[in-house]
């Protein structure tokens, strides 16, 4: 569902009369905030990359806040967003509202400052693949690629949490959930906040 269809607009008075501005646009401009909400897809990542680039070029070095409430999604598209987050010269503050799971968790931990609301959760696990079919060689190639992605995502988690790759593998071999306090204790988040 398109959030613009269910979110009210802000009414602004201008010299030309009354205008209506989507709340997301106002927060983007005034507070330099973007939202990773729902599944991570090619389309959502493309939009977020454009937003990050725009904010970077409008005020290089000024903090951007990324609110995350995502079950995860495409690893390839998520890694593209991860790379852009690292490439822009603005510090990125990530805020977990609700759930940052799977690829959403990797984007959350990539923040320069990582904050969670009191009832938010983080979930990490190994990359998943579904619907494999084809020849034995194509399945073997898919398995090899999946193991490479596993190594990449574990490296990202290790780099941002201070844990070893082996400790990450131990946690990601099954779905591992962390409430806000556990996420801070395990190095997935920096602090719990009660105001945004």
Which of the residues 125, 142, 160, 176 is marked catalytic?
Answer: 125
- Confirm whether 102 is a catalytic residue: yes
Q: Which run of H or E residues covers position 14?
A: strand 9-14
Count Cβ atoms within 10 A of the Cβ of residue 19 and give its class: 0-12 exposed, 13-18 middle, 19 or more buried. exposed
User: Residue 18 belongs to what H/E stretch?
Assistant: strand 17-22
What pTM was computed for the model? 0.87
* Active-site residue identified among 56, 70, 102, 163: 102
Q: What is the CATH number of domain 19-126+175-192?
A: 3.90.226.10
How does pLDDT run across 115-137, given as a tens digit for each residue? 999 999 999 999 877 667 778 88
pLDDT averaged over every residue in the chain: 91
Give the integer Cα–Cα distance in Å for 171 and 195. 30
> Where are the domains positioned within the chain?
19-126+175-192
Q: What share of the chain has pLDDT > 70, as a percent?
A: 94
Look at residue 187 in the predicted model and tell me its pLDDT. 98
Q: So what's the pLDDT on residue 16?
A: 82
């Amino acid at each position: 569902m398109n959030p613009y269809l269910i979110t009210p607009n802000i009414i602004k008075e201008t010299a030309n009369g009354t205008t209506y501005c989507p709340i997301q646009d106002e927060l983007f401009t005034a507070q330099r905030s973007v939202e990773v909400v729902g599944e991570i897809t090619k389309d959502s990542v493309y939009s977020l990359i454009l937003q990050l680039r725009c904010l970077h070029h409008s005020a290089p070095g000024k903090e951007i806040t990324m609110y995350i409430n995502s079950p995860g999604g495409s690893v390839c598209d998520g890694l593209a967003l991860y790379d852009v987050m690292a490439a822009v010269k603005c510090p990125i503050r990530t805020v977990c509202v609700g759930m940052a799971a799977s690829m959403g968790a990797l984007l959350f931990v990539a923040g320069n400052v990582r904050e969670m609301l009191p009832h938010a959760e983080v979930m990490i696990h190994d990359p998943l693949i579904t619907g494999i079919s084809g020849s034995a060689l194509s399945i073997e190639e898919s398995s090899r690629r999946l193991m490479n992605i596993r190594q990449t995502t574990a490296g990202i988690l290790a780099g941002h949490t201070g844990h070893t790759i082996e400790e990450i593998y131990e946690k990601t071999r099954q779905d591992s959930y962390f409430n806000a306090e556990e996420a801070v204790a395990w190095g997935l988040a920096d602090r719990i906040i009660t105001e945004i």
